[in-house]
Structure 1
Amino acid sequence: MQNWAMEIDRQDITKAQLVTPQRKDLRKSEVRLVIDRFALTANNITYAAFGDAMRYWEFFPAGDSGRGRLPVWGFADIAESRHPDLPVGDRIYGYFPAASELIVQPVKVSASGFIDAAAHRAELPAPYNRYVRCAGDAGYGKDREAEQMVLQPLFLTGWLLARYLNAEKGFGARLVFLTSASSKTAIGLARSLSADNPHAVRIIGLTSPGSREFVSGLGCYDDVVTYPEIADLPTGDASAIVDFAGDADINRALHERLADDLTANIRVGGAHWEQSAPASDLPGPRPHFFFAPDHVQQAIAELGPEGFQSAYGAAWQDFAASARDWLAFREFEGAQACLDIYRRLIAGDAIARDGLTIRV
Structure 2
Amino acid sequence: MNTTQFQVRKNPLSATRTVQRPQEPLSDGQVRVRIEQFAYTANNITYAAFGDAMNYWKFFPVPQGDGEGEWGLIPVWGFGVVTQTQCPAVAVGERLYGYWPMATDVVLQPARVSPEGFFDGAPHRAELHPVYNQYLRCATDPLYDAAQEPQQALLRPLFLTAWLIDDFLADNDFFGTCAHGHRGAMLLSSASSKTAYATAAQLAQRPEVEVIGLTSAANVAFCESLGVYSRVLTYEQLDTLAADTPCVYVDFAGNGELRKVIHSRFTALAYSCSIGGTHVDRLAGGRDLAGPRPVLFFAPAQAKKRHGDWGAAGFNERMARAWHAFVRQVDTPTAPWLVVQQHSGPEAVQAAHALVLGGRGDPRLGHMLSLA
TM-score range, shorter chain: over 0.9
Are 1:179 and 2:183 counterparts?
Answer: no
Structure 1, unaligned runs of 5 or more = none
* Cross-structure match for 2:169: 165
Structure 1 residue identity aligned to 2:363: A
1:71–1:98 Cα contact (<8 Å) kept: yes
* Cross-structure match for 2:19: 19
Q: SS of the residue aligned with 1:3? A: strand
Are 1:83 and 2:98 counterparts?
Answer: no
| CA–CA separation in structure 1 for the residues paired with 2:2 and 2:225 | 43
Q: SS of the residue aligned with 1:306? A: helix
Deviation, structure 1 residue 2: 5.2
Are 1:234 and 2:234 counterparts?
Answer: no
* Cross-structure match for 1:134: 138
Structure 2 residue identity aligned to 1:25: P
Q: Deviations over 1:163-203 (max 9, x none)?
A: 001011111121110001111111111111122x26x0111
Structure 2, unaligned runs of 5 or more = 178-183
| CA–CA separation in structure 1 for the residues paired with 2:284 and 2:349 | 27
* Cross-structure match for 1:10: 10
Q: Percent identity?
A: 38
Deviation, structure 1 residue 139: 2.1
Are 1:57 and 2:67 counterparts?
Answer: no
* Cross-structure match for 1:289: 296
* Cross-structure match for 1:116: 120
| CA–CA separation in structure 2 for the residues paired with 1:307 and 1:107 | 24
Deviation, structure 1 residue 279: 4.6
Q: Deviations over 1:321-347 (max 9, x none)?
A: 222321111111122211111111122
Structure 2 residue identity aligned to 1:333: S
| CA–CA separation in structure 2 for the residues paired with 1:296 and 1:81 | 31
Between 1:12-21 and 1:94-103, the stretch displaced more is 12-21
| CA–CA separation in structure 2 for the residues paired with 1:279 and 1:359 | 37
* Cross-structure match for 2:98: 94
Deviation, structure 1 residue 302: 1.1
Deviation, structure 1 residue 234: 2.0
Structure 2 residue identity aligned to 1:287: P
| TM-score (structure 2 length as normaliser) | 0.94
Deviation, structure 1 residue 11: 2.8
| Superposition pairs of residues 239-318 of structure 1, within 5 angstroms | 239-258=247-266, 260-318=267-325
1:34–1:79 Cα contact (<8 Å) kept: yes
2:37–2:369 Cα contact (<8 Å) kept: yes
* Cross-structure match for 2:233: 225
1:205–1:225 Cα contact (<8 Å) kept: yes
Are 1:336 and 2:327 counterparts?
Answer: no
1:249–1:279 Cα contact (<8 Å) kept: no
Aligned-residue Cα RMSD (Å) equals 1.2
Q: Deviations over 1:21-76 (max 9, x none)?
A: 22111000100000000000000000000100100000001132121101000000
Deviation, structure 1 residue 207: 0.6
| CA–CA separation in structure 2 for the residues paired with 1:327 and 1:172 | 34
| TM-score (structure 1 length as normaliser) | 0.97
2:120–2:134 Cα contact (<8 Å) kept: yes
| CA–CA separation in structure 2 for the residues paired with 1:233 and 1:5 | 47
Give the aligned length: 357
TM superposition outliers: structure 1 runs of 4+ over 4 Å: none
Q: Deviations over 1:219-270 (max 9, x none)?
A: 1111111001123322222111000000011111111221x21111111100
Q: Deviations over 1:77-119 (max 9, x none)?
A: 0000011011100000000001101100001111110000000
Structure 2 residue identity aligned to 1:227: Y
Deviation, structure 1 residue 317: 0.9
| CA–CA separation in structure 2 for the residues paired with 1:233 and 1:311 | 34
Structure 1 residue identity aligned to 2:268: D
